[in-house]
Amino acid sequence: MLYFHTRKSKKVIGLQAVVLILLASLAAGCSSNAAVEPSGEEAEAVSPVKKVTVIRNLKADSLDPRKSWEPLRAGITETLTRLNEKMEITPWLAEGWEAVDDTTWRFRIREGITFHDGAKLDAAAVKASLEDAMKASEALAVSLKISRMDASGQELTIVTSEPYPALPSELVNPYTSIIHAAAKRKPGEQAIPLSPVGTGPYTAVKFTPNVEIVLQRFEGYWDGAAPLDEVVYKFNEDGNVRALALQAGEADIVYQLPAETITAVESEPELRVESLAGLRVYLLMFNQQKPAMKDIRVRKAFDLLLNRESIVNDIMLGHGTAASGPFHAGLPFGSRESAQPIQIEEAKRLLVEAGYKEEKDGKLYRDGKPLTLEVVTYKGRPELPLIAQLLQADAAKAGVTLKINVAENADVYLRENKQWDMATYAILSSPRGDGGYFLNAALTPGGSINPANIRVNGLEDTLDELNRTSDMAKRIEWTRQAADIVKREVPHAYAVYPNLIVGVNRRVTGWTPGPEEYYIVTNKLDVK
């Protein structure tokens, strides 16, 4: 078989924004009065660089595609397969593929593609890149299940360790970005983190970790050179700063605007806001390596303490939907049940049943110690610290003290520190239009988004069936069964499906945000 799968919001512009706008106006006025318009060859010589500035909401300290999605998002790297606007798997660096048998796949690599250093993209280069990536990431090796690869010209044969019909979908994963693993670099130059040699429409000419990437058009791009000379791709976790930069004209595309800034942004005639249902879920992750969180009654209690209605209405300002499971209801395998309302008294009853006793001060104790737990959050998604604060207030009503820890780098903190109890977290639960990624990566030991090393009772057999099933109707059914098991065992408490909120300057053309959050800088991105 051959696969070619393919509100309410106050209008608030802070003093900083007003100052920035006034300064920009003054600068524009001064330059227009003093400038002399060049003409002829002189005008051509001083023609401005055509560029766009993008601000992302999360930091990146590396451009190693085995550790970061940003090289793919920034148009530096590409994968064998990709998603189209209908969330279907389609060809990219691979022009097609076929399943030879249950464990053998044959991929045809496109002709005429070169890496940024001029090296040819062929099956051997793809094989070397994937092997290198799997050596660097055990989680990726687990998810791909590749036991052997053979390269011949433009034909790559992949043999998996077990029947694995989801392989083309897994090759959408940004961590499988194809780079020139054997690329030569100057003596002393860091191998990958600062300069991945990919096949995308842009090359990174400067990278300041956690600050910005300066991207330059790759003239030899196989799908047609980009119309822009340069893209400045910035990182800033402060949502208000991102919004102010958009309003002041310092950025053209800004990801994840705080909901409370939308009205102010939309009041600017040259700006627009895209708020679309995404594939992400905001959740409360439980660290079952801690004694309290091993007890399912404690996990259920905190599931009951999540005020989903308030999160949607008061924090998201309507730009989201209350969650009833890991998968958005709009997906074919998404939950159709209503979201659970907050139930403080029932939560307290479960905690008492778990062995905690209420004392005169209204707090719950065990062995003379108050029930005090740490909840980790991070600023990259501005709603998450607010969700933590709301949970803290409602948990106090049930006699629980929560201490909030705002981590600089949540992923690193959660993996390297084992003393946290809970974390407010955001996960793309169906980034490939399929639930298998989330179930394998977030809920099986060693998964790439499972810092608590969660193991879900009863999930393994169902997940095995899902992983070896290719029929779409059956995959949907197995995914639903898996989601039911997850709901029963409560490894996470699912809070809300947030909208993807992106601010865009109207001068930007040929571009719209996608719910998958993968393809940001493309060779179609342009400005008027």
The domains of the chain, with CATH numbers, are 48-72+184-277+505-527 (3.40.190.10), 79-134+144-176 (3.90.76.10), 280-500 (3.10.105.10)
The length of the chain, given as a count of residues? 528
Q: What angle do CA 435, 291, 400 make, to 5 degrees?
A: 90
Q: How many CA atoms lie within 13 A of 464 on its CB side?
A: 6
Please report which confidence band the pLDDT of residue 28 belongs to, taking 50, 70 and 90 as the band edges: very low
Q: How many CA atoms lie within 13 A of 437 on its CB side?
A: 22
Please report which confidence band the pLDDT of residue 44 belongs to, taking 50, 70 and 90 as the band edges: very low
Average pLDDT, the chain: 88
Reply yes or no on whether the pLDDT at 22 is more than 90: no
Rounded-to-integer distance, Cα 200 and Cα 42, Å: 33
Number of H helices, E strands in the chain: 17, 24
Alpha helices in 295-431 (DSSP H): 296-305, 308-310, 344-353, 383-397, 410-416
For residue 410, report the phi and psi dihedrals to the nearest 5 degrees: -60, -40
Residue 46: the pLDDT is 52
- Please name the helix (run of DSSP H) or strand (run of DSSP E) that holds residue 292, with its range, or none: helix 291-294
Mean pLDDT of 121-137: 95
Rounded-to-integer distance, Cα 311 and Cα 338, Å: 15
3-state helix, strand, coil in the chain (%, to 5): 30, 25, 45
Reply yes or no on whether the pLDDT at 493 is more than 90: yes
Cα–Cα distances in Å, from 289 out to 181, 414, 415, 417, 454?
37, 12, 12, 11, 8
Q: What angle do CA 92, 101, 160 make, to 5 degrees?
A: 70
**Rounded-to-10 torsion of CA 99, 122, 198, 83:** -20
In tens, the pLDDT along 369-398 reads: 999 999 999 998 989 999 999 999 999 999
Beta bridge mates, 175: none
Assess contact for 199 and 115: CB atoms under 8 A.
yes
Reply yes or no on whether the pLDDT at 468 is more than 70: yes
Residue 331: the pLDDT is 87
Q: Which of 323, 286, 328, 324 is nearest to 429 (CA)?
A: 328
Please report which confidence band the pLDDT of residue 86 belongs to, taking 50, 70 and 90 as the band edges: confident
Of the listed ranges 35-39, 314-318, 408-412, the least confidently predicted one is 35-39
DSSP state of 73: H
What's the one-letter identity of residue 12? Answer: V
pLDDT above 70 coverage of the chain, percent: 89
DSSP SS3 for 434:
coil
Rounded-to-integer distance, Cα 495 and Cα 284, Å: 7
For residue 302, report the phi and psi dihedrals to the nearest 5 degrees: -75, -30
Rounded-to-integer distance, Cα 15 and Cα 362, Å: 43
Q: What is the pTM of this model?
A: 0.81
Reply yes or no on whether the pLDDT at 259 is more than 90: yes
**What is the DSSP code string of 457-498?**
TTHHHHHHHHHT---HHHHHHHHHHHHHHHHHH-SEEEEEEE
Q: Which of 58, 48, 49, 126 is nearest to 94 (CA)?
A: 126
Reply yes or no on whether the pLDDT at 135 is more than 90: yes
Mean pLDDT of 31-60: 65
Rounded-to-integer distance, Cα 366 and Cα 401, Å: 13
Reply yes or no on whether the pLDDT at 37 is more than 50: no
Output the six-digit token pair for 272: 């627009």
Reply yes or no on whether the pLDDT at 480 is more than 60: yes
Q: What angle do CA 289, 293, 299 make, to 5 degrees?
A: 145
Q: Which residue has the tokens 């999930």?
A: 459
Classify the C-alpha dihedral 419-422-428-432 as positive or negative: positive
Mean pLDDT of 147-154: 98
